Amino acid sequence: MSDPLYDELLQLAFEAADRAGRLLRDGRPADLGVAATKTSPIDVVTEMDIASEKLITGFLTEHRPHDGFLGEEGASVTGTSGVRWVIDPVDGTVNYLYGLPSWAVSIAAEKDGETVVGVVAAPMRGETYHAVLGGGAFNNGERVRHRPAPPLSQALVGTGFGYLTERRIGQAEVVRALVPQVRDIRRGGSAAIDLCDVACGRLDAYYERGLNPWDLAAGVLIAREAGALTGGRPGEPASQELTVAASPEVFGVLQPLLEDLGAWHD
């Protein structure tokens, strides 16, 4: 049964993601450069990340002035309505900077702390993924499901690396241990798209340490609503410590393996 509040949040998230996606696709300066660095010299932000977040928060505030916000580029508003928007204005900034197509706008809406709506727009793919809590997952309006699970040795596994140099060494060690145990590894460069690829059956699994709420909020809901399992360390939800999403049988093998490999610590 559809909830009028969720419907409203979904329509607003669609519209905001679509507007931001157009701005990013059509307005990308040919000479786009790095505007600033954040947690490390490779953690970059461009003027377009900032413009996209401004567009999204401006649009949503206009329609729902009492909501809270959490955005990667600084949006932080508590709000009074019980709804909070969690926004990654460009997920895959390094791809975007280089003109590679794998980047997305990720918008999730939480109600009383629970993610109830997720929209991930990937303009260069011509695809927008969405989910509403309990309502299934969709790509351009078509229902999607996770892939029928192969054994781990035949699984295509996505992952990513954070921007902190020390941590990347540990993440590389985990990949080194994993490579011989799976079909192959993919590093796409957008956590939100990776999670949607699990939802669409284009990856058997995805894991990453160090994601922030804006990277994972929408994509985790979309993966779950596509029937994939999501989590962190065994028994824990997906978090900054570790995010794992996979077809159920792969999840059952991969999560304990990542635990053994120490994928959750530096």
Of 92, 158, 170, 232, the one binding ligand IPD by CB under 6 A = 92
* Residue 205 within binding range of ligand IPD, rule CB under 6 A: no
Task: Report whether 20 contacts 54 (CB < 8 A).
Answer: no
> What residues numbered 23-82 form the site for ligand IPD, per CB under 6 A?
72
Of 110, 215, 219, 233, the one binding ligand IPD by CB under 6 A = 215
Of 162, 170, 231, 232, the one binding ligand IPD by CB under 6 A = 162
Q: How far is the CB of 166 from Ca ion (least distance, A)?
A: 18
> What residues numbered 232-251 form the site for Ca ion, per CB under 5 A?
none
Q: In the Cβ-directed half-sphere of 30, how many Cα atoms lie within 13 Å?
A: 0
Name which of 47 and 259 has its Cβ closer to Ca ion. Answer: 47
Name which of 155 and 196 has its Cβ closer to Ca ion. Answer: 196
The angle at the Cα of 233, spanning 13 to 133, to the nearest 5 degrees, equals 25
Max Cα-Cα span within the chain? 51
Stretch that binds ligand IPD, among 26-34, 168-176, 189-197, 258-266 (CB under 6 A): 189-197
* SS3 label, residue 26: helix
Report the Cα 204 to chain-centroid distance in Å: 16
Task: Report whether 70 contacts 60 (CB < 8 A).
Answer: no
Q: Which amino acid is at 213?
A: P
Task: Report whether 230 contacts 147 (CB < 8 A).
Answer: no
Name which of 5 and 42 has its Cβ closer to ligand IPD. Answer: 42
Name which of 91 and 110 has its Cβ closer to ligand IPD. Answer: 91
Q: How far is the CB of 86 from ligand IPD (least distance, A)?
A: 13
Phi, psi values for residue 114, rounded to 5° = -105, 135
* Contact partner at residue 190 from ligand IPD, Ca ion, none, CB < 5 to 8 Å by partner kind: ligand IPD
Stretch that binds ligand IPD, among 14-22, 186-194, 224-232, 241-249 (CB under 6 A): 186-194
- Residue 52 to residue 43: CA distance in whole angstroms: 17
Classify residue 64 by burial, with Cβ atoms within 10 Å: 0-12, 13-18, 19+.
middle
Of 52, 115, 171, 190, the one binding ligand IPD by CB under 6 A = 190
Site string for Ca ion, 86-105 (x = CB under 5 A): --x-xx-x------------
Task: Report whether 133 contacts 109 (CB < 8 A).
Answer: no
* Residue 231 within binding range of ligand IPD, rule CB under 6 A: no
Structure tokens at 41: 């010299």
- Residue 258 to residue 266: CA distance in whole angstroms: 13
* Contact partner at residue 204 from ligand IPD, Ca ion, none, CB < 5 to 8 Å by partner kind: none
Report the Cα 16 to chain-centroid distance in Å: 16
Chain residues in the site for ligand IPD (CB under 6 A): 72, 88, 90-93, 160-162, 189-191, 208, 210-211, 215
Chain residues in the site for Ca ion (CB under 5 A): 72, 88, 90-91, 93, 215
